[in-house]
Chain A
Amino acid sequence: MAEKKRELVSGSRLVDENSLKERLIVIFTKWEVILAVLIVFEFILFSNLSPYFLDYFNLMNSTFTFMEKAIMALPMIFIIMSGDIDISIASIIALCSFSMGFASSHEIGAAGIVIIGLLAGLSAGMVNGFLVTSFKMPAIAVTLATQSIFRGISQAILEDQAYTKYPEKFAYFGQGYLGETLIPFELVLFLVLAAIMGFVLHKTQYGRKLYAIGNSKEAARFSGVKVDRARFINFTLMGLFCGISAVLLTSRIGSTRPNIALGWDMEVITLVVLGGVSITGGKGNLFGVLMAIFLLGYLKFGMGLINLSAKVMIITTGLLLIIAVLLPGFLDTVKARRKLRRQQKESGMVEV
């Protein structure tokens, strides 16, 4: 916080002394602005390359392909913000989807299936939270183990079979549109959840606590923050959101196989880190992640339109991830150098 304030102060002084140029530099080295510029650039590029890109129906419908991951990215912000990580989320999806398929094969209705899916996610998240907080084990190690356990359960029981019978009503969640419009239900649900999570992160005490925990667990504990309770809640939330995402995904593809959502944990973490949340915790905001979600989602859609293979997409995502972390550090160095030069200049002027 203090750092940010100082930055603001020096920023305003910059504006007084110097010109538009300095102000532009301050604005354009902000991560969210860079992402926004990239999105604009992306839209211009793809709409020039393909006539089908800038089409209302296409832009709406392509969100189906990335909304489930987007929903999982929301609580992942909380987890990474407080310095933890969860690499078991794709396996939680497998567990939830398996539970729903199991319920469906026992003639349970759509509402019951959804409740069972959510409960499965919630309890898986609680298991993670419990293991991380009560045994003081690193989150990456715990979720590495539960990654195998959660998916292992569905694999052990399903073997090479699949659940493919779901009630007709159940299809709405992942395939339906809002009323008579062309707006997918998944997109609306994501925006509502993003608004709630954004409010919690930026406008409530709980959100401030997460920043404090991410900056220093010890300092947060000494100032009276119940660190482990907050971390437990984070993992539980993560599980619940995986449950929601599993409902959407299962409903959209209408089947459950043990390898469902394989590799999604890495993709979701990529979204959050690309959105500017520091992997060591304490830094970032929901808005940046929102940008990263749409940037990557439409990048995938656009590359598909111009027939670039999925493998090129994988490479691009990996490169973006590393650049996203490299760049802020690089920008900081540039800023520090400019500051130093300016100070030298100022002190020189005083002497004169």
Chain B
Amino acid sequence: MSIPTSIKTITQRRETSLILLIGVLLFGVTMRAPNFVSVTNIERIVNDTSILIMVSIGQFFVILTGGIDLSVASMIGLSGMSAAMINQYNPGMPAGFVLIIGMLIGMVLGMINGAAVAYGKVPPIITTLGTMSIYRGMTFVISRGQWVTAHEMTESYMNLPHGNFLGISNLIWWGIVVSVIMFYFSKYTKRGREIYAIGGNKVAAKFVGVEEKKIHMTIFTLSGILSGIAGVMWTSRFAAAVNETAAGFELQTVAACVIGGVSIAGGSGAVVGVVLGALFLGIINNALPVINLSPFYQMFIQGAIVLVAMLINTLSEKRREQELLKGRQQ
């Protein structure tokens, strides 16, 4: 590859344009509020966005295969409520152990999704639409409609995300570690590449020996595990486990993927893009009050951004196809 073409591919990549866009956004907000780009504020934004980053990456792998996981918010709710209740009734149990249990609960919930898709042949959207209701309903059933509030949680549980390592909060570390591991998984492991293969062309992937069932189990279990961690982090960070925890969050995770350049039809996208997409959403959410826009505009603005991002995705894909065609004709 000659140097000019490699520069061209870098500038054409979604990640580059997203970084530029984030830069422009930060600059624009700073014009109105000079304090916005400060170390503490940036840290706050990343902290706010870490949960979204983790769950969006799980969502990303599902979307990569052409599916969708609508149950992530309910999995966060159920695993978060379970973990908070375990902490409430067993205050002696180390917080790290509760985190692992929450993660395992998420894993089991994800495996149920995966089994229904892989072995029951139920399409992902129907499976997760169903489990979205089931898991949310189960949250109400186990909690009997009650909340777990701050004074019922132990100090160490509430400190899970707030703790500090090298001056950076634990929650941010979780976001970073998950992102790095998942980046490696998607790019350099066999299973990771197989997920791309299934998303790109299911039939071809099967012919080269990719087992679709195993892939479905992998992606939904992964999404469950990440939602499980997110659930524990959510309830400990906000020091409350309510029954509606994270309701509607699934749309934000899909939005982060779409903004990050992931094609809803499957087969294309990357972890880095998803992380940037989530950060972009996080910055927007934090910037609204700073530039004096009422938070009631948040929903509209998010929808509009997703729509624009999708239009850009589609149009650039079309252009790429046309260029490919042109290249062939020459």
Task: List residues of chain A with CB under 8 Å of any chain B CB.
Answer: 85, 131, 135-138, 140-142, 144-153, 155-156, 158-160, 258, 266, 269-270, 273, 279-280, 309, 311-315, 317-319, 321-322, 325-326, 329
A142 cross-chain contacts in B, Cβ below 8 A: 307, 310
Q: Is B68 an interface residue (CB 8 A)?
A: yes
- Chain B 11-31, CB-CB to A under 8 Å as 1, else 0, gives 000000000000000000000
Q: Say whether, besides A148-B302, A329-B120, A141 and B125 are in contact (CB < 8 Å).
A: no
Q: Contact: B126 with A322, CB < 8 Å?
A: yes
Q: Contact: A321 with B302, CB < 8 Å?
A: no
The residue on B at minimum CB distance from A280 is: B123
Q: Give the residue of B126, B129, B138, B251 whose beta carbon is less than 8 angstroms from that of A147.
A: B251
Task: List residues of chain B with CB under 8 Å of any chain A CB.
Answer: 68, 116, 120-123, 125-127, 129-134, 136-138, 140-141, 145, 251, 254-255, 258, 264-265, 294, 296-304, 306-307, 310-311, 314-315
- Interface contacts (Cβ under 8 Å), in number, total 133
Q: Say whether, besides A141-B258, A152-B300, A318 and B134 are in contact (CB < 8 Å).
A: yes
A146 to B255, CA, bound (A): 12
Q: Chain B contact residues: over half helix, strand or loop, or mixed?
A: helix
B130 cross-chain contacts in A, Cβ below 8 A: 270, 318-319, 321-322
Q: Say whether, besides A140-B125, A141-B264, A322-B122, A152 and B303 are in contact (CB < 8 Å).
A: yes
The residue on B at minimum CB distance from A136 is: B314
20 A-B pairs with CB atoms under 8 Å apart are A85-B125, A145-B306, A146-B303, A148-B255, A148-B299, A148-B306, A149-B307, A152-B301, A156-B299, A159-B294, A160-B296, A266-B133, A270-B129, A314-B133, A315-B137, A321-B126, A321-B129, A322-B127, A329-B120, A329-B122
A153 to B122, CA, bound (A): 35
Known A149-B300, A258-B296, A325-B126; further 10 A-B contacts with Cβ < 8 A: A145-B304, A152-B300, A156-B297, A273-B126, A311-B137, A311-B140, A312-B141, A315-B137, A318-B129, A322-B131
Q: Contact: A152 with B297, CB < 8 Å?
A: yes
Which 10 residue pairs of A and B lie closest in terms of their CB atoms, listed nearest first?
A152-B300, A148-B303, A318-B133, A315-B137, A149-B303, A152-B299, A311-B140, A318-B134, A314-B137, A145-B307
Within the complex, the shortest CB–CB distance from B285 to chain A, in Å, comes to 13
A315 cross-chain contacts in B, Cβ below 8 A: 133-134, 137-138, 141
A269 to B304, CA, bound (A): 24
Max count, chain B CB within 10 A of own CB: residue among A131, A140, A156, A270: A156
Within the complex, the shortest CB–CB distance from B24 to chain A, in Å, comes to 21
Q: Contact: A135 with B314, CB < 8 Å?
A: yes
B145 cross-chain contacts in A, Cβ below 8 A: 311
Within the complex, the shortest CB–CB distance from B74 to chain A, in Å, comes to 9
A286 to B51, CA, bound (A): 42
A311 to B141, CA, bound (A): 7
A142 to B254, CA, bound (A): 12
Within the complex, the shortest CB–CB distance from B327 to chain A, in Å, comes to 22
The residue on B at minimum CB distance from A149 is: B303
Within the complex, the shortest CB–CB distance from B286 to chain A, in Å, comes to 18
Within the complex, the shortest CB–CB distance from B63 to chain A, in Å, comes to 10
Q: Give the residue of B121, B136, B299 whose beta carbon is less than 8 angstroms from that of A314.
A: B136
Q: Give the residue of B132, B297, B310, B315 whose beta carbon is less than 8 angstroms from that of A318.
A: B132
Max count, chain B CB within 10 A of own CB: residue among A146, A156, A318: A318
A153 to B302, CA, bound (A): 11
A156 to B299, CA, bound (A): 8
Q: Contact: A137 with B314, CB < 8 Å?
A: yes
B303 cross-chain contacts in A, Cβ below 8 A: 145-150, 152
Within the complex, the shortest CB–CB distance from B263 to chain A, in Å, comes to 9
A329 cross-chain contacts in B, Cβ below 8 A: 120-122
Q: Contact: A318 with B300, CB < 8 Å?
A: no
A279 to B126, CA, bound (A): 8
Q: Contact: B126 with A318, CB < 8 Å?
A: no
Within the complex, the shortest CB–CB distance from A292 to chain B, in Å, comes to 14
The residue on A at minimum CB distance from B251 is: A144
A131 to B264, CA, bound (A): 15
B254 cross-chain contacts in A, Cβ below 8 A: 141, 144
